[in-house]
Amino acid sequence: MMVNIVQADDLTSFADHLTDIVWKVGRDSSMVFANKHWLRFAGLGSPAIPCQFPPREFIHSDDHQKLDSLWQTAQNNRTEFSVEVRLLCARSETYFWHLMRVWPVLKARCLSASDNHDNVRRQHSRVRSERAAVSYWLVMCTDVHALKSTQNMFQLVMDNIPISIFWKDRNSVYLGCNQSFAADVGKQHTEDLVGLTDFDNPSTREESEFFVKCDKRVMDSGKPEYHIIETQVRPDGVQYWLDTNKIPLHDAGGAVIGVLGMYEDITKRVLIEQQREDFVATLTHDLKNPLLGTNRVLDLFAAGKLGALDESQKQIVGQLKDSNTALISLIQNLLDVYKYDNLARLADYEEVSLKAFLLNIMDKYQVVAGQRQISLSLHLSDEAHKGMISVHAMGRVMQNLLDNALKFAPQRGYVSINVNKFDQSFSIEVRDDGPGIDLEDQKQLFNRFWQGAPGKKFAHGTGLGLYLCKQIIEAHKGKIVCRSTPGKGASFTVTLPVNVIATM
């Protein structure tokens, strides 16, 4: 059914010059005015428009339900709303996306020039308190088809990226996400998440508070944070592990307006690492402990507590213990390589005094150094300096470096540990005055299972010690280098960021 347009003199002249579609809708939902742009768009050759709002015959059927619901709510509450709908263009017989904005125009008593300020104030107060009746509804539809098409293409790309992506406003309220993230939090459609917070998702309260805390830290600092390891409880009740990156979003003026997040599900990797740790612990117990027990028995033999031994027997017992000790070291290196190989990060970082950390390790080597009359010393540029490290892992690095240095330093030689502090990093250097390392050998030092050529003094061990050092240092986001001149000793320098957590 079509009706003649009721011309609205206060609206017509203005609305007919707009490129947006403009409608005037009566209180009974009858459409009483439409501007010329709508007539051209809808292919209406005469001054006629559909009689009722919404004009369902011009709106895509998939948009009927949401528009009807919003319209009913607006009528009941006298509130405005906006919604994206598809309108049918008569010329191309194609639906185009439009942003439809609807708001009520309320009745108000016209005030004469004789009304004083108090009368005006009382009139406004009465209108507010009585929820003045709607005079008519104004509807404006803006073509957003090009923008919507771009958004749809962008959404399509994001939905096919094998990571979960989301973005939030300054208050950590979700503005959008890709389909992967929507599925993770139990939403069927990406738009279902818009307007919600982490506290509306299946995650535990502790997890949600952590998410929001990270958001705030990134937005307040204006700096991205990478590789945040966190957990997420999903609708199935299972806890997953995530490797998350968060990046601040800026407006054209540079102000932070939100945060972009993306994460990779690393649950399988974490479970494998846990299995690896269990395996390492079992292997440590099953292989190392019997050898340690054997060494204790050999110590008893060497001390004569199980019967007197002659010098040749003591020598044999000593050789057996040395072999066991070497085998224990080999097992430890193999287990540590297995543990740290291809490890992207370490979990047990803590801030420690570098002086206390290094002195504790040096105490274990003073006896060996004393037996060979080797001077073992520590030098710090700042004795109060602290570092963020994995104590156990870095302990393995220092043990390997000191083992090598003490092994190759000559009798009455020296081994020194030098610590230097820089703006964003610190270094630990282990230096000896041994025979040094050939340039060609230096290129191979950190390769897995590499050993020096037979006959060279540097040829020893399994070729895993320095490889292990490199793996641990890289997990700290640092680097290790060797500098040596043959005949003039060697130095191994470890450089680490001041705050390793902030670099991830």
Using an 8 Å Cβ cutoff, are 425 and 476 in contact?
no
Closest by Cα among 397, 399, 434, 428 to 415: 434
- Cβ neighbours for 210, distance < 8 A, ≥ 6 positions apart: 230
pLDDT exceeds cutoff 50 at 110: no
- DSSP letters spanning 275-331: HHHHHHHHHIIIIIHHHHHHHHHHHHHHTTTTS---HHHHHHHHHHHHHHHHHHHHH
pLDDT at 451 (0 to 100):
56
Give the lowest-confidence range in 15-19, 338-342, 487-491: 338-342
Residue 306 lies in a domain: yes
Among 240, 265, 290, identify where a domain stops: 265
Which pLDDT value is given to residue 345?
Answer: 54
Q: What is the mean pLDDT of the chain?
A: 83
How do residues 145-181 score in pLDDT, each as one tens digit?
Answer: 877 767 667 667 677 788 999 999 999 999 989 999 9
Instruction: Say if residue 23 is in the same domain as residue 100.
Output: yes
pLDDT confidence of residue 347: 56
Residue 316 falls within a domain, yes or no? yes
DSSP-derived letter for residue 52 is: B
Q: What is the mean pLDDT of residues 81-91?
A: 91
The pLDDT of residue 241 is 94
Q: What is the pLDDT of residues 305-338, one digit of tens each?
A: 888 888 888 888 888 888 888 787 777 777 777 6
302 plus 253 within the same structural domain? no
Tokens, residue 361: 């390790």
| Last-in-domain residue among 210, 237, 265 | 265
> For position 91, what pLDDT does the model report?
85
Signed CA dihedral, 368, 446, 390, 434: sign only: positive
Classify burial at 411, counting beta carbons within 10 Å of its beta carbon; exposed 0-12, middle 13-18, buried 19 or more. Answer: exposed
Q: How confident is the model at residue 341 (pLDDT cuts 50, 70, 90)?
A: low
Residues 88 and 171 placed together within one structural domain of the fold: no
Listed residue (94, 26, 5) closest to 58, CA to CA: 94
* Same domain flag for 198 and 213: yes
More confident residue, 45 or 441: 441
Percent of the chain with pLDDT over 90: 42
Q: Is residue 125 included in any domain, yes or no?
A: yes
H-helix or E-strand spanning residue 243: strand 239-250
pLDDT band of residue 50 (cuts 50, 70, 90) is low
Residues 78 and 54 occupy one common structural domain: yes
For residue 214, is it within any domain?
A: yes
Instruction: Go through 90-101 and write b for each residue having 16 or more CB atoms within 10 A of its CB, e for each that does not.
Output: eeeeebbbbbbe
Same domain, 351 and 490: yes
Residues 18 and 58 in one domain: yes
Instruction: Place 499 in a pLDDT band, splitting at 50, 70 and 90.
Output: low
52 within domain boundaries = yes
Is residue 154 a part of any domain in this protein?
no
* CA distance linking residue 415 with residue 454, whole number of Å: 25
Q: What CATH number does residue 467 fall under?
A: 3.30.565.10
Lowest mean pLDDT among 79-88, 112-121, 311-320: 112-121
Q: Are residues 367 and 467 in the same domain?
A: yes
Per the structure, the complete domain to which residue 391 belongs is given by 347-503
Between these two residues, 123 and 175, which has the higher pLDDT value?
A: 175
DSSP 452: P
Q: Which pLDDT does position 504 carry in this prediction? A: 38
pLDDT in the model for residue 368: 83
Which pLDDT does position 501 carry in this prediction? 45
Q: Of 85-99, 330-344, 460-474, where does mean pLDDT reach its minimum?
A: 330-344
> Does any domain span residue 153?
no
Q: 208 with 356, same domain?
A: no
Give the DSSP letter of residue 91: T
State residue 372's pLDDT score. Answer: 85
Are both 398 and 417 inside the same structural domain?
Answer: yes
Q: Is the pLDDT at 46 greater than 80, yes or no?
A: no
Which of 230, 265, 300 lies at the terminal end of a domain, its last residue?
A: 265
Q: Tell me the percentage of the chain whose pLDDT exceeds 70.
A: 83
322 inside domain: yes
Domain total in the chain: 4
pTM for this predicted structure:
0.45
- For the segment 58-79, the average pLDDT, to the nearest whole number, is 93
- Residue 380 tokens read as 């710090």
Q: Is 184 helix (H, G, I), strand (E, B) or coil?
A: helix
| Model pLDDT for residues 438-459, shown as the tens digit of each residue | 888 888 888 765 555 444 444 3
Are both 169 and 257 inside the same structural domain? yes
- Residue 330 near residue 462 (C-beta atoms within 8 A): yes
Which residue, 93, 17, 105, 7, is CA-closest to 49? Answer: 7
Is pLDDT at 419 greater than 50 in this prediction? yes
Q: Given a cut of 70, is residue 38 above it in pLDDT?
A: yes
- Over residues 187-197, the mean pLDDT reads 91
Residue 433 above 60 pLDDT?
A: yes
SS3 call for 402: helix
Q: Where is average pLDDT lowest: 211-215, 259-263, 464-468?
A: 464-468
Residues contacting 458, CB < 8 A, separation 6+: 408, 435, 437, 438, 441, 452
Residue type, 199: F
pLDDT of residue 456: 46
